Structure 1
Amino acid sequence: MIPACFSQPNTPPSSSTAQAPQNLVTCIYQTQLCNSLTYLTLTWFRTLLSHSLTIYAPHTFSITITLNPSTFSFFRTRPGAKSIYLTRPHKRSQKIKLYWDFSGALFSTRNSAEPDSCFYLAICCNGKVEFFLGDLFRILPLQLSTHQTGDQTLVSRREHVFGSTSYVSRGEFMGSKREIEIELCSGEVLRVKMDGQVCLVVKRLAWKFRGNEKIFIDGVEVEFYWDVLSWVVDSENGNGYGVFVFQVGDGGAVWPEMVGPEKKLMKKRLVGLTMASSIATLSPSNSGVLQWTEESSDGGRSSSSSSTRSCGSSNGGFSLLLYAWRRD
């Protein structure tokens, strides 16, 4: 008989884990910046004592914004702005300006890195708003609030969640806010929930440590992939991680490049794991299940180049990738 699952996703961290990550989310958007197609990477990172956002545009710019210096501080971040001048060969120098306000941002839970409402982030080029995130468009500087934003599309999302038997992700999926929970029951059974409803159960993980199944969410077909070999190999040490992919549509699997705090996290967390379980390197597409995902979405053809994997797709597909890390 399989023991019941007892999950504790909201257990507060001890003082010894003050610098340990509580949540890390990376989103990649397809947008236009200065008349050029750009894949913009936003990485939201939170620990008990710090909270930041790293914005990265390949070959263009990278900036980190401190959202809240300390959870225990009475002083939150103030609205800010920063100018960046781009110099490109055979082209005129162009000015990009970033505006943001996270001073009153609200979050779905106290551990969430990504804000839910009451914030904005705007990226402007030549006085035009070309990227906007948030719900406070009207409080932008007056000269910008009258402009409409350009087209932008969320093409993939990658999140690192932490726990012991329960791993919860809350964010936009299929056009609405959803809660996705991965439960590991007695090390033998994997249970996948969407908004509290069980949509898949995988038994005998020691034999089925990697696989894929089709699930249906609100009548829409979603391809689900899992790879828990690291959990199986490192079960005695209580370490390891699971990799889970939810893929919607025909756009293929697209993974943003790991930069900033996410790159540091992967380096730190992979130290100490056994060689067999350290499948994923700093290139996320090197994981076995991720290569499998790419090949499946490519109809059995050879996988795309690393630059394509890092830059996304305009075919309308969306991919959600979860790294579920066991706490030490």
Structure 2
Amino acid sequence: MKARPSTMRECTSCFSDRAVKIATSSSFGSGSTTKASSASAANVSNIGAVTSFFKSSLTTGKFLVLKLTWSRSHSGPFFSVDVDESLISADTWKRTHLLRTKSGTHTFLASSSNITVHWDFTAAQYGPGPEPIDKFYLAVTADSEFALLLGDKSEEFEKKFTPKLKIAEFSMVRRREQVIGPALHSTTSARFCDGGKYHEITIKCKGTRREEKDAELSVCIDKKIVVQVAKLDWNFRGNQAVFIDGSPVDLMWDMHGWWFGAPAGHAFFLFRRRSTLESRLWLEEESTHGFSLLIEARRAS
């Protein structure tokens, strides 16, 4: 397979606007999955951060983009919230609101709207990363309307408001996972179309040094290999289309930093659903049709 010359500026700028939800369970380790033995599990490292972007269509006709970043420090998990009207400049937002308490309310002004964030993670349960997966709620209101509701306890929280607030249509439009580990072995789950099922995605690299002649990159979807790349010293960058739920999904990888860089090298993997098979790869005007998932791996001992 021939490598496609590219830069990560290209890679990180081709996210899209389509509604998708993701259930994540991602890990980096050395030759083992999250169901591995306790001996192998010792090599599994933490997920550093997860960033999700949601597009909310208010009943007034106004659109908002909400950016949630989940991270973890020595004192425990925390999250930040950004709100804007544009997804294009989402990665350069400077108005981050960092929230460290387990429950509370925070109000601010953004995009000419009064924004209030309500959350309760007091009894929240977590997976391998900093993102809560059960027994929590996170609600964002914009001008007295729910712009976002997350968590299994959100419905119960929503019923507390009298009179009842309207609920906007909202959906996830992109996601970024940042993970750290000594070797490349990541598993996550994604849903690539509205109403579709969740698919398990596994990225695995055999070998950690450029001089290893048997080095190989493989990508599996639902435990079936869909991409297999040998000779990574030449094919450290590339792209290939795979089919998920009958729709083409483009996978782009860039392992140059991982393979040739410093000990703490980076690798990037970008999945993006195309509208049709005939649509061209990474075309900017196609950005409104497909969901994007970016996995950023950083090697650490």
SS at match of 1:112: coil
Partner of 1:323: 296
Partner of 1:250: 275
* Distance (whole Å) between structure 2 residues aligned to residue 8 and residue 124 of structure 1: 39
2:117 matches 1:98: yes
Q: Report the structure, 1 or 2, having the larger strand content.
A: 2
Structure 1 residues 163-182: aligned runs within 5 Å? 163-174=181-192, 175-182=196-203
Partner of 1:230: 257
Distance of aligned partners of 1:62 and 1:241 in 2 relative to their CA distance in 1, 3 Å threshold: closer
Residue by residue over 1:139-181, the C-alpha shift from the partner in whole angstroms, topping out at 9 and shown as x without a partner, is 2161169434201121111111122223324344324444422
2:72 matches 1:46: yes
* Distance (whole Å) between structure 1 residues aligned to residue 183 and residue 48 of structure 2: 16
Query: Among 161, 169, 175, which residue is 1:157 paired with?
Result: 175
Contact 2:190 2:201 in 1 (8 A): no
2:99 matches 1:65: yes
CA drift at 1:43 = 0.8
Residue by residue over 1:21-79, the C-alpha shift from the partner in whole angstroms, topping out at 9 and shown as x without a partner, is 63311111111467532221111112454311111113795312226xxxxxxxxx2x3
Structure 1 residues 49-198: aligned runs within 5 Å? 49-58=75-84, 62-66=96-100, 77=102, 79-85=103-109, 88=112, 94-107=113-126, 109=127, 111-140=128-157, 142-143=160-161, 146-174=164-192, 175-187=196-208, 188-198=215-225
Partner of 2:239: 212
* Distance (whole Å) between structure 2 residues aligned to residue 232 and residue 87 of structure 1: 42
Give the total of aligned pairs: 246
* Distance (whole Å) between structure 2 residues aligned to residue 199 and residue 218 of structure 1: 14
Contact 2:83 2:110 in 1 (8 A): no
Contact 1:21 1:46 in 2 (8 A): no
Give the residue type in structure 2 aligned to 1:182.
Answer: I
2:63 matches 1:37: yes
SS at match of 1:7: coil
Partner of 1:201: 228
Flag as ranges the 4+ runs of structure 1 deviating above 6 A. none
* Distance (whole Å) between structure 1 residues aligned to residue 150 and residue 247 of structure 2: 26
Residue by residue over 1:284-324, the C-alpha shift from the partner in whole angstroms, topping out at 9 and shown as x without a partner, is xxxxxxxxxxx8321xxxx58xxxxxxx95x3310111111
Query: What is the CA RMSD across the aligned residues, in angstroms?
Result: 3.3
* Distance (whole Å) between structure 1 residues aligned to residue 184 and residue 163 of structure 2: 42
Using the size of structure 2 for normalisation, the TM-score is 0.70
Partner of 1:285: none
Contact 1:127 1:144 in 2 (8 A): no
Contact 2:204 2:218 in 1 (8 A): yes
Contact 2:247 2:275 in 1 (8 A): no
Distance of aligned partners of 1:86 and 1:22 in 2 relative to their CA distance in 1, 3 Å threshold: closer
Partner of 1:257: none
Contact 1:170 1:177 in 2 (8 A): no
Give the residue type in structure 2 aligned to 1:135.
Answer: D
SS at match of 1:247: strand
CA drift at 1:134 = 1.9
